[in-house]
Amino acid sequence: MMKKFLTPAKTRRGMAAQRLALKAAYYTGALHAYGAAKRGKIPGLAILMYHSIGGSEILGPGIAVSEKNFAGQLEYLARSFDIVPLDSAVATLRSGAPIPNNTIAITFDDGFRDNYETAFPLLKRYGAPAAMFVATQPLTDGISLWQYRLRFLLKKTQARELRLNWPDAAFGRAVFNLTNKRKRRRAVDALEPPLIAAAPSERERMLAEIAHNLGLEADSDPADEAPTLTVEQIKQMSAAGVEIGSHTVTHPALSSVSRTDAAEELTASKKTLESILNRRVRFLAYPFGGPQHFNHEIEELARAAGYDAALSTIRGVNGSGSDLFAVKRLGVFDDPPAIFAFKLSRWFA
C-alpha cells in the first residue's frame, strides 16, 4: 500500500497552525506556566549562547539573531527568569548548593561589534547581566576571525565553482558548486572541518588557496560587513558590568593544535584582555566548544592559565557539581519569542 505524504500546501498549513498555537500559548501565559512547572521538577542552570545580534547575512541563522527577535527573547527572559551574572552562576555551581528555579545566564561569543551597538543597549534596558567572550586577534591586528573570512570569500566571489585537492580532508579532490546561496552554504559546511582541524599557519595557507582559486585576494576580509568590537567598546561594557572573557587569540580548535600553541592561545588572550581592562579575566569560552574541540589536557591548561571556569558549546543545563571546565550552554537561534520560549521549556522537560 502506498504511503500518503503531506503535500507542501498541507505541510505549510500544519506549520502555520503550530505557530499559531505556540503564539496563543505564549501570549496567554500558558507556555510560561508549562515551562515553570518543568523547571520546578528539574532544577538546573541554563546558560544561553548568542553570537551576533542583527548582523550580516554572511553569518547565517545559527550565528545571527535579528534585533527584533533578540529584544523579544530578552523581554521574555526578564519576565520569566532570574537572569544572573556569569560569576554568580559559576559560584553556585562550584558551591554545590541547590540551583534556584528559573535561573539563567546570557553569553555572547566572537566579539561582534553589534554586541555593543545593538545588544548592549537592550541588555541595559532590561537590566540583564551578560558575559561576552572576545578573541583578541581582531582587537590587536584588525583581522576578522577566520571562519567569517571563509564565509566572506564564498559570498564575494563571482566564481561558479571552487576546485580543491586536499588529500587530508574528507572530500579529498572536490569541485564545489557555487551557483546559489544554498550550494555556497554547503561548501562552507564541507570546508570548515578541515580548516578547524588545521594548525593556524596551515589554516592561513588553506584560506589563501581558497581565495586564489576563487579569484580573490588572500587578505579579503568582512570587516565592513561584520565588524568586531573595538578596545574602547569592551572597556565601556566592562565598566558597566559586562563580564569580558577570553575566546583565545585566533579561534582555533584547541584540541587540534600543539600543547604549546594551545597554552599560548589561552595565556596570550587572557593577558591582552587584562592589560586592556585593567582587571582579571576569569572565564574562557572554548572556540567551537564541542567535545571534539577540547579535552582533559586543554581543561588542565585552562586551569594553569588562571581561569576560574571554561564554557563549552555542549548543549544542556548545568546542575550542582557540574564540571566547571566543561560548562554546558544552549545555542540560541533567530526565533521569535514564542518559538524561543517553547524551545527553552523543552530543556526542562
Q: Please tell me the predicted confidence (pLDDT) of residue 67.
A: 96
Answer for the pair 209, 194: CB distance below 8 angstroms, yes or no. Answer: no
Looking at residue 90, what is its pLDDT? 96
Query: Tens of pLDDT along 121-147?
Result: 999 999 999 999 999 999 999 899 999
Q: Which of 12-26, 36-50, 312-326 has the highest mean pLDDT?
A: 312-326
User: pLDDT digit string (tens) for 199-255?
Assistant: 888 999 999 999 999 999 999 998 888 899 999 999 999 999 999 999 999 999 999
CA distance 324 to 12: 43
- Cα–Cα distances (Å) from 199 to 57, 145, 286, 307, in that order, read 28, 14, 16, 24
Distance CA 27, CA 278 (A): 45
| CA dist 278 → 63, 109, 264, 267, 305 (Å) | 30, 21, 20, 16, 17
CATH number for the domain whose boundaries are 26-142+225-346: 3.20.20.370
Output the pLDDT for position 10: 41
Helices (H), the chain: 8-28, 30-41, 67-80, 86-95, 114, 120-125, 137-141, 146-156, 181-197, 200-213, 231-239, 259-277, 296-304, 337-346
The chain-wide mean pLDDT, for the chain, equals 88
* pLDDT at 98 (0 to 100): 87
pLDDT (average), residues 61-83: 93
Higher local confidence (pLDDT), 318 or 349: 318
Least confident of 58-62, 216-220, 298-302: 58-62
pLDDT of amino acid 8 = 40
Report which residue type is found at 321: G
Which residue ranges make up each domain of the chain? 26-142+225-346, 146-213
- Whether 25 has a pLDDT exceeding 50, the answer reads yes
- Identify the bridge partners of residue 172 per DSSP, sorted by sequence position: 166
Q: Can you tell me whether residue 279 is helix, strand or coil?
A: coil
